[in-house]
Amino acid sequence: MDKLLKSANTSAEQIIKWAEEHKIETCFDRAEKLKPCPIGESGACCRVCHMGPCRLIGKNAEEEAMGVCGAHLSTVVARNLVRMIAAGTAAHSDHARDMAMTLLAAATGEAKDFKIKDVKKLYRVAGILEIEFEGRPVNDVAKDVALKFLEDFGRQTGELNYVKRAPKKTQERWKKWGITPRGIDREVVEAMHRTSIGVDHEPDHLLTHGLRTALADGWGGCMVSSDITDILFGTPKPIKAEASFGIFKEDEVNLIVHGHEPTLAEIIVDVASSADLIEYAKSKGAKGINLGGMCCTANEVLMRHGIPTAGGFTNQELGIMTGLIDAMTVDVQCIMPAIAELSKKFHTKIITTSKKAMIQGAVHVEYDEHHARETAEKIVRMAIDNYPNRTKKGSHITDKFPLIAGFSHEYIEYMQGGRWRASFRPLNDAIMAGRIRGAVGLAGCDNPRVPSTGLHRFLAMELIRNDVIVLSTGCGSAACGTAGYLTPEMALENAGPGLREVCEAIGIPPILHLGACVDNSRILTIAAAMAAEGGLSEEIGGMPAVGIAPEWMSEKAIAIGCYFAASGFPVIFGGESPVKASKEVTKLMTETWFERFKGALHFEADPEKILVLALEYIDKAREALKLRKYVPGQFGAERVLMDMAARREIEKTARAHSGVGG
């Protein structure tokens, strides 16, 4: 990886150069000019009251420094981290709440533009929630599911509905250490209360509640959001699409959906293909309407409709600088306010759509689920009307890469045994045999403070070379997609021989795109299913699996990292540690969390060290589980393990002999 580059994506780098030549500032320039405050960066700045901000610095700060109130450094550092967890949890979970409200409005007929698309998933979820569904009208079941999910936000005591989806042993650990989440809102509010001036000062006690809050995010907010999105819009299955700036079309209206919420974007997908609007686009001189996405809204519509993605977080300004985007809708989260000002240098219209989020200089077209189609049509027309204003200005890029996305929990289960015997047995067997060394969830943001997307690319490639299967989400997926890493051919060329054998047998890429950031919850349920399948760990902790977010920047990433750690995954984040100032807090998050939950959260800036640490965790887990020792290059000659046609034949014969139909 060339550390001098601002982005590892060649097209992005080209646009950055163009911007420099034209004296247009981007996040890359701002990152260079604005160095992080070293006190805040390490977690040592306390600003929870106005006697400060207190900067707890000095040679013996850990032992000696204290704020005006007497708060020690470890308290301040722990408090700051817990506040990040609370903010991240609030973001995912507020998104989930809106999804639940939309499901309710769809079920009661109030949001007429939304219907239950995936009844099978609705029934699956109803089954988990112990809601009767057989013989009942679909909308009645959907209403009960929505109401049951909404209980999770306001519950004061007891536990979240989905706690029971975790393996029993994992649940027992949570009970033992007092981190079973009660209600989502309650945990977030309590986190804010405990971290306000003069309340909870014991670092371990604070962090323990941080983990409970994070679990409310993972097994609450994120999981609820993924499930409702599947129910309303369909559970993803593999689908082809394209990635990078070449997805913009010179001769069509380019409309980009950016942000996180899938509801309005879903309706835009539908509206943009309507004959009358395509005719309208033609009347303005365009050949058609080209819809694309950015960040996690992109992942949502890519997974379900094959809508192409222009990439992740650091691509948003660069996309505008192609001069080809006629309109960009933004909802919530990870929207750089800089795009509004930047868009004025081009012809792009930035349209804010959420009741919760406005940007000065943008046009606001407010969305609400009761008038979704109307809003979507208005937006598509605005994009079309803006097409004639396009100038020749901009850095036009043509390269794009094919990709395959859409690996939901349900599909991964299906691909390992067909409809009759969907299971996780083959995957567990492949790990037990050492064909697959382990698994890594490669998630999180891309970041202008490193060669953007470069750490994702490096780790994705090195992990698959080491026979580690990669499950990617969020901007990690965008980074892999814009590098051309999300195709099965990648397995042939780059994966280690054991992993390659498995990928070839099933016809999957070695890097599986699981969706948006909220879809990290799919990794939790997959790990739970693998534990239930047997042969590996009986709980999530102890699996040869690791979470990595090498370029993280968002508080949401911290919430995710912590719910992974509390669930039993060792997690490694890149960049400087936000708890670096306190050795005590660092030790709690690595050693103590590992003893209690078999999970941990490390911060390591060097990507090569991240790789080594991840492989060490995987190999140690294999050893503890007494699995066959992983030997590089051991497999490759044999081709039998996951020949699914052969498996089905064997099962068919077995069924015939036992007289079982199917």
- Binding residues vs ligand BF8 (CB under 6 A): 260, 295-296, 312-313, 334, 444-445, 474-475, 516-517, 554, 556-557
Closest residue by Cα to residue 490 from 455, 463, 451, 519: 463
Integer Cα distance of 564 and 182 in angstroms = 18
Amino acid at 280: Y
Task: Quote the least distance from Cβ 630 to ligand BF8, whole Å.
Answer: 30
DSSP conformational letter for 417: T
Q: Which is nearer to ligand BF8, 442 or 642 (CB)?
A: 442
Q: Which is nearer to ligand BF8, 445 or 483 (CB)?
A: 445
Integer Cα distance of 110 and 139 in angstroms = 12
Amino acid at 160: L
Task: Quote the least distance from Cβ 575 to ligand BF8, whole Å.
Answer: 13
Task: Quote the least distance from Cβ 517 to ligand BF8, whole Å.
Answer: 3
Q: Which is nearer to ligand BF8, 430 or 443 (CB)?
A: 443
> Do residues 579 and 604 lie in contact, with contact meaning Cβ atoms separated by under 8 Å?
no
CA atoms within 13 A on the CB side of 95: 32
Task: Quote the least distance from Cβ 606 to ligand BF8, whole Å.
Answer: 21
Q: Which is nearer to ligand BF8, 49 or 87 (CB)?
A: 87
Task: Quote the least distance from Cβ 334 to ligand BF8, whole Å.
Answer: 3
Amino acid at 625: L
Task: Quote the least distance from Cβ 371 to ligand BF8, whole Å.
Answer: 26
CA atoms within 13 A on the CB side of 407: 29
Task: Quote the least distance from Cβ 433 to ligand BF8, whole Å.
Answer: 33
Q: Which is nearer to ligand BF8, 561 or 607 (CB)?
A: 561
Closest residue by Cα to residue 405 from 265, 259, 305: 305
CA atoms within 13 A on the CB side of 279: 3
Q: Which is nearer to ligand BF8, 75 or 477 (CB)?
A: 477
For the chain, the farthest-separated pair of C-alpha atoms sits apart, in whole angstroms, at: 79
DSSP conformational letter for 234: -
Q: Which tokens go with 419?
A: 């409809």
Task: Quote the least distance from Cβ 474 to ligand BF8, whole Å.
Answer: 3
The alpha carbon of 60 is separated from its chain's Cα centroid by a whole number of angstroms, namely 39
Provide CB contacts within 8 A for 26, sequence distance 6+. 16, 19, 317, 318, 321, 338, 448
Q: Which is nearer to ligand BF8, 148 or 556 (CB)?
A: 556
Q: Which is nearer to ligand BF8, 76 or 455 (CB)?
A: 455
Q: What is the DSSP string of 483-523?
A: TT--STHHHHHHS-HHHHHHHHHHT--SEEEEESGGGHHHH
Q: Which residue has the tokens 């868009």?
A: 343
Q: Which residue has the tokens 């991964």?
A: 412
Task: Quote the least distance from Cβ 297 to ligand BF8, whole Å.
Answer: 8
Q: Which is nearer to ligand BF8, 131 or 518 (CB)?
A: 518
Task: Quote the least distance from Cβ 361 to ligand BF8, whole Å.
Answer: 21
Integer Cα distance of 624 and 224 in angstroms = 33
Q: Which is nearer to ligand BF8, 80 or 316 (CB)?
A: 316
> Do residues 473 and 514 lie in contact, with contact meaning Cβ atoms separated by under 8 Å?
yes
